[in-house]
Amino acid sequence: MPRAITAFSNPLVKSVRLLRDKRHRRDQRRFLAEGLRILTEAREAGRLPQAMFFAADSASHPLVAALIEATEAAGGDAIETTPDILSKLSGKDNPGSVIGVYAEFETALDAVDRTAAPLWLAAERLRDPGNLGTILRTADAVGAGGLFLIDDCVDPFSVEAVRASMGALFTVPIIRARWDDFLAWLRTGSGDLVALSLDASVDYRAPAYRAPTFLLTGNEAQGLPPDYAAACDVRVRIPMLGKADSLNAAIATAVMAYTVLDRQQPL
């Protein structure tokens, strides 16, 4: 049976509220996800919250009821609370009707099966959580095998990144690695590393990409370091026909991902 919490001073409320801060997420190895759609996507992907908070007037919604039942069946805690506490936990004036607390998860580099998908995405020193969330959504949309986060990327479990992913955080494997480790792993098997680069001379629509393709996007402001770009098998650019010198990193990744699939040689 769900229990009720209505006091801001409750220790669990205080602990969960701290998860909006990266340091406390790292210490607790937990993160927040907000909204019925995102929590339902997580449930359908087989991930249930350690605790979920829900507004009393939402408990009769069939999807909320399903979340409560599944969470409690898995040993989690379902907590009925007030809109004010939901707002305090989410940091928004108009929070979602449900908020979940999840254990962090990721895939180890040596556990990746590169033959599981023809396309994989990789991002190097990505800084914007909105871009990261959008790239996760793109990875889900194109059926990518996963997203490699290279070097010091923005935290994929930040509230902003989770929100921007619209549930794709729970459906797309995330692999965090340093560049040297990633490159060494990549060269132990098949797969071409394709870089998006403003300095490239090859139009992105020209190559016949070989599967599995690992599509690498660089930092929003600086792009890829020259030695990283030089280590790639293919370097391509998206031509700019107007006054803008480049596309947003997440948009460029989406354009490239669908182009690779369209022009890719089979596994």
**pLDDT tens figures, 142-196:** 999 999 999 999 999 999 999 999 999 999 999 999 999 999 999 999 999 999 9
- When pLDDT is averaged across residues 212-237 and rounded to a whole number, the result is 94
pLDDT-derived band at 197 (thresholds 50, 70, 90) equals: confident
The widest CA-to-CA distance across the chain, in whole angstroms, is 62
Are 146 and 107 in contact by the 8 Å Cβ rule? The answer is yes
pTM: 0.92
Tell me what pLDDT residue 165 has. Answer: 96
Taking only the tens place, the pLDDT of each residue in 38-58 is 999 999 999 999 999 998 888
Length of the chain, in residues = 267
Nearest in space to 212 (alpha carbons), one of 137, 107, 116, 111: 116
Domains identified in the chain and CATH numbers: 3-103 (3.30.1330.30), 109-263 (3.40.1280.10)
Average pLDDT of the residues of the chain:
93
Confidence at residue 219, expressed as pLDDT on a 0 to 100 scale:
92
CA distance 139 to 169: 10
**How far is 246 from 262, CA to CA, in rounded Å?**
22
Provide the pLDDT for residue 267. 62
Contact indicator for 72, 78 with CB cutoff of 8 Å: yes
For residue 244, the model assigns a pLDDT of: 78
Residues 6+ apart with CB under 8 A from 33: 39, 42, 49, 99, 100, 102, 162, 169
